Structures are given as structure tokens and as C-alpha cells.
Amino acid sequence: MTNTDNWLTPEWPAPDNVFAVTTLRTGGFSEGAYQSLNPALHVGDDPESVMRNRARISTMLDLPAEPVWLEQVHGNTVINAAHVDGLCAADASFTDEAGIVCAVLTADCLPVLLCSKDGLSVAAVHAGWRGLLDGVITNTVKVLQGKDLLVWLGPAIGPAAFEVGAEVREAFLAKSTYFEAAFTESHDGKWLADIYTLACIDLASVGINQVYGGGFCTVTDADRFYSFRRDKQTGRMASLIWRA
């Protein structure tokens, strides 16, 4: 599987039986603000178009099953994707079983994909700053029970575009002073936050240092990425991971 105009493939040393991808906004059926490959049903897009987009994603990626979609709530709950019945409120899922597709939807928040080096476990995480602060990434690492993990950070808002209030910085510093490295003073009491650095610091706190990806900006790359901060009314990218 290689990069195309419709998806990104992580550049990371994952085992050959692990497959991962982030869809782009191109190649689908949605129109207007949602143009065009929007797989999110919760953003106001035409449901028929969304379902056609989901079918196209399944076909073009040759998915082994329908992705396990989540009701993402900016929390820290991690679920076993093999045990999902219906739409579950969670922001991360994992599986040790072959043929189950973990999925998260993003449009500025950080998609985090994880796999074990033995190829037996995979996970997908939706990490906005609230979920990251509350431990959604580290909770996922802990659920994977000390396995030797690789991590890929997908397309998210870049550090030059992610302006936050002082209270956000203070909340992270209250958790750990190491997070200070992720903030740069902006203006009028605001700060620029580097969500990739926040994630790397968080991962390092639980011993995970093999981290790949990053360097994207959903806000400035309008041709490839949806961005809620840029457009308000918009679609979502899907980040998917599964194992054979």
C-alpha cells in the first residue's frame, strides 16, 4: 500500500502484517464544505454521501471489515474493538485480533496509531488537547500491557496554527513541567501549542520513544486535510489500523 491522492501511509517500521492509513479529503462523494471523502456522520453532511464515502474507503483500501467507528467525546476511554456492539463513546480502541479495523476521525486533533513490534496488537487514538491532558494516549499504552510499541502521529493542527489560552498551558504544566517545551508565547496572553511535542512528551513518560510521523498541519494544507479550526463546518479524515 502506497501513498496516493486519497490517503497517506505511515512511514514507520511496522511489521508486514500491520496495515495503517489516514484518508485525505479527496476522492469521495460529499459536496460543498464536506468535499469530498468525508466518512463522518456526525458533522452535518448528507448521510447517503457519507455512507458512499465509507464504502469507497473500504474498497480502495481493501479493508478486511467495516471499521469500528467511535462516538468520540474528547475523553480518555479506551475500548477493545473486538467487543464493540454499536456506537461506543470512546476516544481510542485496540485489538489483538486479525481483521478488525480500529478507526478514529479527526480534523485538527491528533490521530495516533500504535502497533506492537510482534505485530499482534494495534490501536488507534483520537487525541485533542483535552484527551491528551486526561491521558488517552497513556491509557492506550497501558491497555497494551507493556508491549514493545511503535507509534505514528498523523495529520493534526501544526504548532504555528494552534493558539491556546494560558489556562491550557497551565493545566499541562500542572501535570508535568516537561510539557513547557511544547509551548511558545504568542500574544495577549495566548500561547502556541505543539500537539506533536505534547504527544511525544506524554509517550516518553510511559517509556515510548519510537515515535514516527508528525510535521503536518491540517490548518494550512487545505488541499489534503479537513480543518475544523480553519473552516468550522467541515468533514473528517479517518485514521485506520488493522493486522492480518
Per-residue pLDDT of 174-192, as tens digits, reads 999 999 999 999 999 999 9
State the CATH number of the domain containing residue 39. Answer: 3.60.140.10
Please check the confidence at residue 2 and state whether its pLDDT lies above 70: no
Check residue 146 and give its pLDDT: 78
Cell of 204: 516518553
* 22 domain-assigned: yes
Residue 227 within a domain: yes
How far CA 212 is from CA of 20, 61, 114, 217, 244, in Å, comes to 13, 22, 10, 15, 22
- Give residue-wise pLDDT tens across range 197-242: 999 999 999 999 999 999 999 999 999 999 999 999 999 999 999 9
Position 99 confidence tier, pLDDT thresholds 50, 70, 90: very high
Q: Using CA atoms of 152, 225, 61, 153 in order, give the dihedral in degrees to the nearest 10.
A: 0
What pLDDT, on the 0 to 100 scale, is given for residue 143?
96
Is 192 within a domain? no
pLDDT of 4? 74
d(CA 158, CA 223): 15
CA distance 49 to 56: 10
Mean pLDDT of the chain: 96
Residue 48 lies in a domain: yes
Which run of H or of E encompasses 103? strand 102-106
Q: What's the confidence (pLDDT) of residue 74?
A: 97
Q: What domain count does the chain have?
A: 1
Q: Is 149 helix (H, G, I), strand (E, B) or coil?
A: strand
CA pseudo-torsion sign 181, 184, 190, 193: negative
Indicate whether 78 belongs to any domain: yes
pLDDT digit string, tens, across residues 17-71: 999 999 999 999 999 999 999 999 999 999 999 999 999 999 999 999 999 999 9
pLDDT, residue 192, reads 98
Other Cβ atoms less than 10 A from the Cβ of 168: the count is 18
- pTM comes to 0.97
Residue at 229 is within a domain: yes
Residue 174 counted as domain residue: no
Give the domain range for residue 235.
14-156+216-243
